[in-house]
């Protein structure tokens, strides 16, 4: 995975919610809903890929560790030079240095890959949660508008006056 490219993409996603969605009109709310849904779809794909990648990296790390452990156990039991070392720690260090350099290097590389995959998965998850909160905020705004209409706080005349103001502003710009 190209973490830098994906992180840069995640950082491009931004959306300001309307302070007064009624004044900005239903078109603004509809546009924001569409934007949130589009971003959530993309974030879901990125997060799904990140979860899969994280799992693969974890598996590769564990397999490298298992392979190393098997080789080390064999050396500790069978290799005369390894067995001659004074302590368990010295035997392991000797085996690592003389016979298992590439295995140790592979484990270290797999561990770094696993850590990076885990960090990216957590980052992608945070973005997904943040955008879910934006979607819930828009839903809450719509609920408030429905209640305002129900109790008569927002009337047809009020909406018409807002729309008339917008039309007047557009005409003045021309």
The DSSP line for 87-150 is: SHHHHHHHHHHHT-HHHHHHHHHHHHHHHHHHHHHHHHHHHHHHHHHHHHHHHHHHHHHHHHHH
pTM score, two decimals?
0.79
pLDDT on residue 173: 62
Percent of the chain scored above 90 by pLDDT? 68
Q: How many CA atoms lie within 13 A of 119 on its CB side?
A: 11
Tell me, what CATH number does 155's domain have? 1.10.287
Helix axes of 3-12 and 101-150: crossing angle, nearest 10 degrees: 10
Rg (CA), the chain: 29
How many structural domains compose the chain?
A: 1
pLDDT on residue 54: 98
Distances (CA, A) of 98 to 28, 92, 94, 112, 125: 68, 10, 6, 23, 43
79 versus 29: the higher-pLDDT residue is 79
Q: Give the pLDDT mean for 23-34.
A: 82
Residue 47: how many other CB atoms lie within 10 Å = 20
pLDDT on residue 22: 78
Chain segment 32-89, per-residue pLDDT in tens: 899 999 999 999 999 999 999 999 999 999 999 999 999 999 999 999 999 999 999 9
Residue 115's domain comprises 24-173
Q: Is residue 116 part of a domain?
A: yes
Q: Is residue 15 part of a domain?
A: no
Distances (CA, A) of 83 to 75, 119, 167: 8, 40, 89
Lowest mean pLDDT among 25-29, 52-56, 129-133: 25-29
Q: Give the pLDDT mean for 84-103.
A: 96
Q: Give the pLDDT mean for 101-109.
A: 98
Q: Is residue 14 part of a domain?
A: no
73 versus 156: the higher-pLDDT residue is 73
Q: Is residue 117 part of a domain?
A: yes
144 versus 40: the higher-pLDDT residue is 40
Q: Is residue 16 part of a domain?
A: no
Cα(160)–Cα(168) distance, integer angstroms: 12
pLDDT band of 19, cuts 50, 70, 90? confident
């Amino acid at each position: 995975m190209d973490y830098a490219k994906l992180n840069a993409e995640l950082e491009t996603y931004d959306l300001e919610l309307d302070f007064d969605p009624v004044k900005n009109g239903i078109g603004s709310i509809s546009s924001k809903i569409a934007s949130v849904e589009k971003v959530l779809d993309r974030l879901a794909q990125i997060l799904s890929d990140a979860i899969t990648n994280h799992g693969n990296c974890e598996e590769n790390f564990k397999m490298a560790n298992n392979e190393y452990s098997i080789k080390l156990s064999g050396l500790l039991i069978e290799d005369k030079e390894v067995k001659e070392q004074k302590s368990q720690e010295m035997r392991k260090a000797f085996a690592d240095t003389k016979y298992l350099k590439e295995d140790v290097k592979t484990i270290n590389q797999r561990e770094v890959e696993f850590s990076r995959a885990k960090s990216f998965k957590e980052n992608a998850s945070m973005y997904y949660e943040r955008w879910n909160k934006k979607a819930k905020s828009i839903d809450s705004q719509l609920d408030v508008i429905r209640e305002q209409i129900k109790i008569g706080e927002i009337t047809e005349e009020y909406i018409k006056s807002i729309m008339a103001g917008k039309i007047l502003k557009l005409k003045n710009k021309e």
